[in-house]
Structure 1
């Protein structure tokens, strides 16, 4: 990704996006440190590439907007607002492509995460790095390239403990407190 790209040429591939995320993840297990590493990496890119990164981040974030993943977050946290679910998905992206894809395919697989990883799933900040850099450079807010999905995909979850236990048995066994 050369800094000399023009705005019309600025298109970050999904592989380039995940490479940046993996480099950030490999630098630290701590979400606050990963956030700072991402800031340093994005600061070296052109403004257009920062915007392209943000577009990829938003697409990836929206891909994780599902009732299945929200149900997993609900069980882990003992509740999960829409803002908390935004943070959850952002931190999940920060954990790298493999962890993200595994959670998308099987949200119940999150039961294998360590206590430290689970504590950080609701951290705020990682999702704002690109927008913050863009605003610092241009003085304007980074506009979303497409609207947030109006509702999560998939079958809506019930708050009934028996239903939660059936859909997410590993997470329920590990995290549900009655």
Structure 2
């Protein structure tokens, strides 16, 4: 699966279903109807784009949005959530040559969170951990075999070794502390206004 097909599926998912649970149901059904190589390719592409999102600048943006509370796992789930925002939002924040995580301030999903107490975000919390498991579920449906992901993981690893995978994991360039207020205000001016320090 190439990256354009991956994003076409993500965008179709956004159009077909509302809410994360509905989108996962649609996505699992869509993937499970495809050849196994495409299901595996979807996971490889997902890993690739979330790796691209592992930058210190985006980590600073995630911490600003989340109020300074963003663990390693939380940042991973935030990256998966960003995939769900679609290619345009993701590209503006991560992959364009002029990528700017502060561009997340334009995303309607981010604007809907701003000004609301975080304890009321509930289902709108910006993470989507379960997206990372949908290809495995589709693979098991397509094969009719539940093997705890061993065959799927092997297939994904083989695809990566063939030159279609990520070069590593974790934030590129190290983590940036969100509490360096001057630096954050300079690099993330709009997110800093939407999510000021101390907001609940």
TM class, shorter-chain normalised? 0.7 to 0.9
Gaps of 5+ in 2: 115-120
Aligned to 2:131: 126
Matches within 5 A, 1:70-149: 70-78=59-67, 79-104=69-94, 105-113=99-107, 114-115=111-112, 119-135=124-140, 137=143, 138=145, 139=147, 140-141=149-150, 142-143=152-153, 144=157, 145=160, 146=165, 149=168
Q: Please give the secondary structure, in 1, of the residue aligned with 2:129.
A: coil
How big is the shift at 1:112? 2.2
1:63-93 superposed Cα distances (whole Å, 9 cap, x missing partner): 1111111110000001211111111111111
- Give the total of aligned pairs: 167
Given the two structures, how large is their TM-score scaled by the length of structure 1? 0.82
Distance in 1 of aligned mates of 2:84 and 2:169:
24
> 2:65·2:191 contact (CA, 8 Å) conserved in 1?
yes
1:59–1:15 Cα change, 3 Å: same
Q: Please give the secondary structure, in 2, of the residue aligned with 1:125.
A: helix
Given the two structures, how large is their TM-score scaled by the length of structure 2? 0.74
CA RMSD, 1 decimal? 2.3
Distance in 2 of aligned mates of 1:150 and 1:53:
18
> 1:91·1:120 contact (CA, 8 Å) conserved in 2?
no
Distance in 2 of aligned mates of 1:46 and 1:86:
27
Distance in 2 of aligned mates of 1:154 and 1:166:
18
Aligned to 1:170: 190
1:101–1:123 Cα change, 3 Å: same
Aligned to 2:118: none
> 1:67·1:154 contact (CA, 8 Å) conserved in 2?
yes
